[in-house]
Amino acid sequence: MSESGPSSSSTLPPQSSLPTGPNVDQKPSVLVLGMAGSGKTTFVQRLTAFLHARKTPPYVINLDPAVTKVPYPVNVDIRDTVKYKEVMKEFGMGPNGAIMTCLNLMCTRFDKVIELINKRSDDFSVCLLDTPGQIEAFTWSASGSIITDSLASSHPTVVMYIVDSARATNPTTFMSNMLYACSILYRTKLPFIVVFNKSDIVKPTFALKWMQDFERFDEALEDTRSSYMNDLSRSLSLVLDEFYCGLKTVCVSSVTGEGFDDVMTAIAESVEAYKKEYVPMYEKVLADKRQMDEVEKKKREEEDLKGKPVHDLKKPTGDEDDDLDLNTKVDRIHLGGVDEENDEDAELERH
Ligand SMILES: Nc1nc2c(ncn2[C@@H]2O[C@H](COP(=O)(O)OP(=O)(O)OP(=O)(O)O)[C@@H](O)[C@H]2O)c(=O)[nH]1
Ligand SMILES: [Mg+2]
C-alpha cells in the first residue's frame, strides 16, 4: 500500500492480541457516503479546497475504483492498488461485482492505510474518504464493514451521508433516503451527519421542516398521488421520528461552498459524540471479548488437565480446522450489523 508521497514500510500489528482501543486524541476520519450522484466526490473536492484555504489541509482517500478522474489532490487512491477494468476482464464481472471485488482486495490491505493515516495524523486536520457511487457496494458488503470498523477502532470516525436535496423534494424519495441513512446508522453505530447537498438548486429547509414536524411531511404527501406509498411513508415517518431527533444535519452547496463552516462544526461535535457514546460501547464489547477469551483459555487448560491432546499453534498438525474455536483470537471489533454478518466478516478477514 502506498500513498502519493513517501511510502511506509512498517509491519502488521500482531494478529494474536485484542486491539488496545482507539486513540481518541487522533484527528478524525470522515466517511462520505450517499446515493449515486448525490455529490460525494464534489463534496470531498469542495471540503478539501475549503480546508486548504484555511491552511488546515485534509488527508484524502479515494475508495471508488470506478471513477475515471479524481478532482482533488488524493493521498491514497484505491486505483493505485486495484485496477477496476482488469478485475472486470479477469473475473468476467459486471460493473457492480467488479467494484465489490476491488473493495474486497483493498480491504485485505487496509491495515496499511490505517498505518499511513496514523503516521500522518500530525500533518492533517481531518481524513476524508470518498466512497463508490454504488452505495450498497460499500454499506452492505463485508469489506465496507471491515474498512469502517478498522477506522472506528483506531481513531474517531464519523459518517457523512450526502443527500441530493433537489431529488429529495419528492416526499417518497426523501423517505427512501432517510431509511437508507437510518440503516447505515444502525449498521455502523457511528456519529452520523446528514448533509443536504445542492442547496444552490433547492434550499433544503423543506427537508428540515419535514424532519421536525410530522404534519408538514404529511401535508407534502397529500400533494402527491400514490395512496399506497403515502400510507407507507406516513407510517415510516412516525417510526423515524426518534431517528430524526438525534440526527445532525447541515445544508451545503458543494458548488458554491455555502455551509462548509457548519460542516466543520458538525464534525467537531460528532467527534465528541464518538468519545462519549461509541468508545464506551466499544470498550464494553472489548471487555466481553476478553472475558470470552479467558473462558476459552480455561476450557483449554481443563482439557489439557484431562489429558486430551492440545495442539500447539506453532506446530501445525494438519488438522487446524478443529482448533479454530479454541485458538481463534479476535482482532477487530464490530459494533454494527447482525451476528451472522459479524461472523461472515470475521471469517473474511482471517483468510
Ligand atoms: N448544482 C449543484 N450540483 C452539484 C453539487 N454537488 C454535486 N453536483 C453535481 O452532481 C453531479 C454528481 O456529482 P458527483 O460529485 O460526481 O456525485 P457522486 O455522489 O460522487 O457520484 P458517484 O460517485 O458517481 O455516485 C455532478 O454533475 C456535480 O457537478 C451541488 O452542490 N450543486
Ligand atoms: Mg463519486
| Cα 132 to Cα 137: distance, rounded to the nearest angstrom | 7
Does residue 253 have a pLDDT over 90? yes
Buried b or exposed e, range 55-78, using 16+ CB within 10 angstroms:
eebbbbbbbbbbbeebebebbbbb
- What domains can you pick out in the chain, each with its CATH number? 29-283 (3.40.50.300)
pLDDT of residue 240 exceeding 60, the answer is yes
**Cα(153) to centroid(ligand 2), Å:** 26
| pLDDT for the residue numbered 129 | 97
Least confident segment among 111-125, 202-216, 321-335: 321-335
The residue-averaged pLDDT of 8-20 equals 47
Is 90 exceeded by the pLDDT of residue 143? yes
Q: What is the pLDDT of residue 15?
A: 44
The residue that leads in pLDDT, 304 or 78, is 78
Strands (E), the chain: 29-34, 59-62, 76-77, 127-130, 157-164, 192-197, 248-251
Global pTM reads: 0.82
The answer to whether residues 207 and 177 touch, using CB atoms and an 8 Å cutoff, is no
Question: What's at 218, amino acid-wise?
Answer: D
The radius of gyration of the chain's CA atoms, rounded to the nearest angstrom, is: 22
pLDDT one-digit tens code per residue, 179-225 = 999 999 988 999 999 999 999 999 999 999 999 888 888 888 877 76
Coil vs helix vs strand at 121: helix
Q: Residue 159: beta bridge partners?
A: 31, 192
The number of the ligand nearest the C-alpha atom of 35 reads 1
Beta bridge partners of 193: 160, 248
CA of 67 to the centre of ligand 2 (A): 7
The SS3 of residue 73 is: coil
Could you tell me if the CB of 41 is within 6 A of ligand 1?
yes
Question: Do residues 114 and 150 make contact, with C-beta atoms less than 8 angstroms apart?
Answer: yes
- Tell me how far the alpha carbon of residue 3 lies from the centroid of ligand 1, in angstroms: 25
Flag whether pLDDT at 334 surpasses 70.
Answer: no
Distance 133 CA to ligand 1 centre (A): 10
Which ligand sits nearest to residue 162's alpha carbon? Answer: 1
Whether pLDDT at 118 is above 70: yes
Q: Which residue has the cell 442547496?
A: 199
Q: Round to the nearest angstrom and report the end-to-end CA distance of the chain.
A: 19
pLDDT of residue 239: 80
Ligand 1 atom closest to Cα of 256? 31
pLDDT band at 148 (very low <50, low <70, confident <90, very high): very high
**pLDDT for the residue numbered 323:** 43
Residues 6+ apart with CB under 8 A from 346: 330, 332, 334
What are the pLDDT digits (tens) for 50-73? 999 999 999 999 999 999 999 999
- Please give the share of the chain, as a percent, with pLDDT higher than 90: 60
In whole angstroms, what separates CA 249 from the centre of its chain?
18
- Rounded to whole angstroms, the Cα distance separating 161 from 11 reads 33
Q: Which three cell numbers stand for residue 235?
A: 407510517
CB 42 near ligand 1, within 6 Å: yes
Please report the pLDDT score of residue 54 as a whole number: 96
Q: What is the pLDDT of residue 21?
A: 80
User: How much is the average pLDDT of 99-115?
Assistant: 93
Other CB atoms within a 10 A radius of the CB of residue 163 amount to 26
So what's the pLDDT on residue 7?
35
Q: What is the residue-wise DSSP string for 192-236?
A: EEEEEE-TTTS-THHHHHHHH-HHHHHHHHHTS--HHHHHHHHHH
Residue 237's contacts (CB-CB under 8 Å, 6 or more residues apart) are 175, 210, 214, 217, 218
Taking the C-alpha atoms of residue 149 and residue 144, their distance in angstroms, rounded to an integer, is 8
Mean pLDDT (the chain) is 84
Environment of ion ligand 2 (residues, CB < 5 A): 40-41
The SS3 of residue 71 is: coil
Q: Which atom of ligand 1 is nearest to the CA of 45?
A: 15
